[in-house]
Amino acid sequence: MQVSVKYFASLRESMGESSVFIDIDKESSVDDVWQRVTKDKKIEIDNVMATVNMEYVKSSYVIRDGDEIAFFPPVTGG
């Protein structure tokens, strides 16, 4: 299965790209995708937010072929 992965804000800089297409195994979760795309990177953010097809999802959400996954760093404000 192939999916589109997008990175926003500081993650885009840390990843060195704004988006990528990757092949994943059937039954892969959002967390599986995150672990795969950060495997060789020195990213130390553990509470990344994610959307699938522009809807916020939990890290256990199972990805389908053609989905668009977007990762966002934690947001703070006041």
Tens of each residue's pLDDT in the chain, 78 residues: 999 999 999 899 989 999 999 999 999 999 999 999 999 888 777 789 999 999 999 999 999 999 999 999 987 665
Query: In terms of residue numbers, what domain contains 42?
Result: 2-72
Flag whether 9 is in a domain. yes
- Domains held by the chain: number: 1
Flag whether 67 is in a domain. yes
pLDDT value at residue 65: 96
Flag whether 65 is in a domain. yes
pTM value > 0.95: no
Flag whether 77 is in a domain. no
pLDDT value at residue 77: 62
Helix (H) or strand (E) holding 22: strand 19-23
| DSSP for 30-63, written as a single string | HHHHHHHHHTTS----S--EEEETTEEE-TTPBP
Flag whether 78 is in a domain. no
Give the CATH number for residue 43.
Answer: 3.10.20.30
